[in-house]
């Protein structure tokens, strides 16, 4: 447990009471209560190990079948994820069952999206990783159908990830996408081909560094630095705890993309 507040409280109590030992003890006690409360909040926020397996693979199955068929590429991705996550026999069986549940016509994706939101809690670093995994299936065949994007956007919204941040994740995958091109977010959930849907497409000129940082090209240098620091903090692999190595590698890849985008913008603008 971190005892920062305990030490600050002791010092403050010692100083406020004009160097009284009793004041220091009272201040330390109050600080300790704050530290203990913070630790309890962190414990509650920490996702349960393995708790993502069933809802995640069920959602992957739903995404794969969203356009009416499941391709060999999408099946291969699901199998590859099971191997990369290092699932044991029982976990792999659960993942297969979940994937098959997700591809059923009557499957309700909202249920497992809510389960993933509960598992993630307030951990944005875990939210980005879950989106990264699901996005692999969404983009399995290139430009995704609107039904697949509708599920992805619903997941992002549930995990408190904005369209701008989702566009940044797409840019890291080499795709350009304008979230406003498909109408309002709520309408996108309905699926179908209406609403002027424009799918994400491969960026032939390479990843857009501004899109990766989630900023406009006319942003000033201070805004660019602020966006970079925020993203690196949220995508740093050391924050992921005991998640599978594959998820840590994804975070490392995102952090590398963010660093590369920032360095490219710095070189173009000439600031340090």
* pLDDT single digits (tens) 88-115: 999 999 999 999 999 999 999 999 999 9
pLDDT for the residue 253: 86
Question: What pLDDT is attached to residue 193?
Answer: 45
pLDDT value, residue 204: 76
The DSSP element (H or E) to which 261 belongs, if any, is: helix 245-269
pLDDT at 177: 85
In this model, does residue 46 exceed pLDDT 60? no
Distance CA 252, CA 241 (A): 13
What span, in angstroms and rounded, lies between the C-alpha atoms of 95 and 116?
14
Instruction: Give which of 258, 184, 185 is closest to 215, Cα–Cα.
Output: 258
pLDDT digits (tens, 9 = 90+) for 191-209: 444 456 677 888 777 788 9
Average pLDDT score over residue span 244-261: 84
For the chain, give every domain's residue range: 4-45, 53-269
Encode pLDDT of 135-167 as tens digits: 999 999 988 999 999 999 999 999 999 988 898
pLDDT in tens, 68-82: 999 999 999 999 999
Q: How far is CA 13 from the centre of its chain?
A: 41
Give per-residue pLDDT as tens, 214-227. 888 888 988 999 99
Residue 24's pLDDT is 66
pLDDT at 9: 60
Strands (E), the chain: 175-176, 201-202
């Amino acid at each position: 447990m971190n005892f920062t507040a305990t030490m600050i409280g002791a010092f403050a109590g010692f100083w406020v009471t004009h160097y009284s030992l009793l004041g220091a003890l009272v201040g330390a006690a109050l600080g300790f209560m704050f530290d203990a409360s913070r630790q309890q909040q962190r414990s509650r926020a920490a996702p349960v190990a393995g708790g993502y397996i069933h809802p995640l693979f069920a959602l992957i199955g739903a995404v794969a079948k969203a356009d009416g068929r499941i391709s060999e590429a999408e099946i291969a991705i699901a199998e590859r994820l099971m191997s990369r996550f290092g699932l044991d026999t029982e976990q792999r069986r659960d993942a297969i069952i979940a994937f098959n549940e997700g591809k059923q016509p009557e499957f309700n994706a909202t249920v497992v999206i809510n389960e993933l939101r509960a598992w993630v809690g307030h951990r944005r670093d875990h939210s980005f990783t879950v989106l990264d995994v699901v996005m692999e299936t969404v983009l399995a065949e290139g430009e995704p159908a609107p039904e697949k994007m509708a599920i992805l956007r619903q997941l992002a919204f549930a995990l408190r990830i904005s369209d701008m941040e989702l566009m940044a994740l797409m840019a890291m995958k080499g795709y350009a996408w304008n979230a406003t091109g498909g109408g309002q977010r709520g309408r996108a959930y309905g699926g179908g081909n209406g609403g002027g849907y424009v799918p994400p497409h491969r960026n032939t000129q390479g990843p857009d560094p501004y899109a990766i940082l989630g900023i406009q090209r006319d942003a000033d240098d201070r805004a660019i630095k602020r966006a970079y620091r925020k993203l690196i903090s949220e995508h740093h692999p050391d924050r992921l705890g005991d998640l599978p190595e594959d998820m840590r590698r994804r975070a490392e890849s995102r952090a590398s993309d963010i660093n590369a985008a920032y360095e490219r913008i710095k070189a173009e603008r000439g600031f340090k």
